[in-house]
Amino acid sequence: MNKAVFFDRDGVINHDPGDYTYLLEEFKINDGVISSLKKLSSEGYLLFIITNQGGISKKIYTHSHVNAIHKYLIEELAKENVKLSEIYYCPHHNVNENCLCRKPNSLLIEKAIARFNIDKEKSFMIGDKPRDVEAAENAGVKGIKVGVNENIEKYVDDILNSNY
């Protein structure tokens, strides 16, 4: 079985300015992210992004905006020999519809667990909102809450040093 770390996107992987991040020119990878992903990857962790993108449902932006950002992120990580196993995103928002994939629901994490044969006991979710931790726990994965736009290196070091 594989071990994995799931990451929220906005506020963890990239700078969250406090509203929706959907324009490529506004997308900035947070300090410590690339080095943290490299460390985890070198220790055999699969890497995933689990992100709510409710602005699609609200018609603020489109799937194309999200896909452009994800393509850019994948390309930037590839320059550092870092590979994401998958990016899962929920395009829904509870003001418009109910779904099973929007965090704090755990469907997207559960899909990754099933598809990639992930050992929940050896896996983690890093997020900046209580709903990220709740989604992790709903899926049977250890949730770690960080501050918005906080450098995640110390949390990754704690994972690698088995401090959780």
Q: Is 63 exposed, middle or buried (0-12, 13-18, 19+ CB in 10 A)?
A: exposed
- Is there a domain that residue 51 lies in? yes
- Is there a domain that residue 126 lies in? no
Q: Distance of CA 99 to CAs 21, 28, 105, 106, 140, Å?
A: 22, 29, 8, 11, 20
Q: Distance of CA 122 to CAs 118, 145, 156, Å?
A: 8, 17, 13
- 55-94, pLDDT tens digit by residue? 999 999 999 999 999 999 999 999 999 999 999 999 999 8
Question: Catalytic one among 10, 16, 128, 132?
Answer: 10
Task: Give percent of the chain above pLDDT 90.
Answer: 93
Backbone angles phi, psi at 126, to 5 degrees: -110, 120
- Is there a domain that residue 132 lies in? no
Query: Is 158 considered catalytic here?
Result: no
Amino acid at the residue 78: A
Look at the chain and report how many structural domains it folds into: 1
At 132, the pLDDT band (50, 70, 90 cuts) reads very high
Query: Is 8 considered catalytic here?
Result: yes
Q: Residue 108 is part of which domain span?
A: 14-120+137-160
**CATH number for the domain harbouring residue 45:** 3.40.50.1000
Residue whose structure tokens are 């390309």: 75
At 42, the pLDDT band (50, 70, 90 cuts) reads very high
Q: How far is residue 149's CA from residue 155's CA, in Å, rounded to a whole number?
A: 13
The DSSP element (H or E) to which 72 belongs, if any, is: helix 63-79
* pLDDT score at 94: 83
The DSSP element (H or E) to which 70 belongs, if any, is: helix 63-79
Residue 164, pLDDT > 80, answer: no
- Is there a domain that residue 113 lies in? yes
* pLDDT score at 9: 98
- 145-158, pLDDT tens digit by residue? 999 999 999 999 99
- Is there a domain that residue 6 lies in? no
Mean pLDDT value of segment 113-120: 98
- Is there a domain that residue 89 lies in? yes
Identify any residues that bridge with 12 across adjacent strands, giving them in sequence order.
Answer: none
- Is there a domain that residue 9 lies in? no
Mean pLDDT value of segment 46-50: 98
Question: Catalytic one among 8, 16, 128, 132?
Answer: 8
